Structure 1
Amino acid sequence: MNSSICRNIGVIGLGSMGYGIAVSALQGGHRVWGGDVNPEPAARFRDEGGQPGTPADNAQDLDAVAVVVLNAAQTETVLFGDDGIVARLRPGAVVLACATVPPAFARDMAARCDAVGIHYLDAPISGGSIKAASGQLSIMAAGTPEAFAAARPLLDSIAETVFELGDTAGAGSAMKAVNQLLAGVHIATMAEALTFGMTQGVAPDKFVEVISKCAGTSWMLENRAPHIVAGDYTPHSAVNIWPKDLGIVLDIAKSAQFSAPITATALQQFVAAAGMGHGREDDAAVAKVYARNAGLTLPGEDS
């Protein structure tokens, strides 16, 4: 969705999701500054129409800044580290915090932003890099009415659906944890089912053709299994994401005295994949754990 209101937007973190958000904001008619510790995507974004300079250098002019980094530690560093952007923003600006983080962390960040007159929207994202680039993300958001109002022009440009989950930060991150539990388990289960099928003579391409039309399908199966069929593990979402995200889920579960054994098992498969050297590959590469253990050869691999 495009907004008719032009705003000054900063996007910090130009990985696959952040870059897509920056592009969608630009296509929505906003002036957008992109920043990343890696200079290459920042330079590429400027070549595609982004503003010169970094979000930090232009913070006083920003209406909103989306922080699309890996985890809580990076989010805190971006916001309140030695060169933190919050201290540079003008009062009334809004931070969209998009990383998967514990709900308690989101509440702490919101309180610290509020203390200096900055709005904070707990706004984890879902949809993958393709939807990020097309402005069709789903955003699980929580924050004050003022935070939502300040963020609305940006949200309209980058999201197809914004779930408004309350006026207290943390609710968005709680919902994202629920989503990540399912998404991570579904990827691991897809890999288990696909390789199990191979032991019974079911070819991976036939697995996708049939199961994607049957009750056993999932969004993750339909999205990730074709990567295995193609033997293409170019990362859209990397294996390394899941030890972090499922680790957050299990930390939350522990604090709630809730047993999550299926999540724990899925986590171990992603840890094993990373240990095999596949951490930077697409998360469908978790199938390589099953294939190795069963002596199977996946598409695109030497037999």
Structure 2
Amino acid sequence: MTETAAHRLLLVHAHPDDESIGQGATMAKYVAEGRGVTLVTCTAGEMGEILVPELEHLAADKDDRLGEHRQGELAAAMAALGVTDHRFLGGFGTYRDSGMKWHEDGHAIAADDIHDNAFWHADLTEAANHLVAVIREVRPQVLVTYDEFGGYGHPDHIQAHRVAMYASQLAAAPSYRRDLGEPWDIAKIYWGAISESRIREGLRRLRAAGDTTTFEGMDPDGDLPAMFRPDEDISAEVDAGDYVEKKLDALRAHATQITTDGPFFALSNNVGAQAFGREQFRLVKGTAGPGAGENGWETDLFAGIPG
């Protein structure tokens, strides 16, 4: 079990595939190093777009069984990364994917019609209590989740951020819900991030290779969406380039959501494994450990934590 590892990482994500896109290489690296990795996924992604024609019948407006299928995709992705402790918040089916639509300004917002048990409508304390129990069981020193905007505005990403941040506070309070376990204060909390300089570098390499369609409309020298952060906001960069193939295998497992000719595979082919395997983070709680990497960034999320 993960609690026996000296170092333990907890990730809180909204839908299956978010974890592999954001931190798949880091997860694989830490598993290989014997560190504990626990993933909590808040919904089964029932409202996701289906990219496999023969599975279109699973859509929410048809058989409405996409969540069950994506549960299997997530299990396959975790097997690819080596992660053995992955759970759904409150148990599978407790919270449903809220869906989304695009705002005219280019970011995601809540859909017009939202299911009764959509995660966006979840009671914050109830949802946080589910996570408090996990935190107190696993006792992670490091938590990774989204920023307050959920990267690009998806309501479930924003809600996952709120639940993770609130649960981390509640879990540390000795007098709070003793029935959920012994209190645990998470030493370091990070929000997943993508460095502006890294994405600009990647875009330049793509364009130089003749690829004008991946991230179409994004200018390497122009304005970038809010999900890409100035380098001064970045605290850590984990170089997990040796684990890119595991990350790609995990992405392939999420076949209803990600195609092998999509942007992530284009990045891995044209930007290179080393760059594609570098994942960035913003430290929002705790003290940064020694920075041995570029720009003084931490190179290990557990930097400064005994183990």
In the superposition, the TM-score normalised over structure 1's length comes to 0.31
The structure in which a higher percent of residues are helix is 1
User: Higher relative contact order at CA 8 Å, sep ≥6: structure 1 or structure 2?
Assistant: 2
Q: Radius of gyration: which is bigger?
A: 1
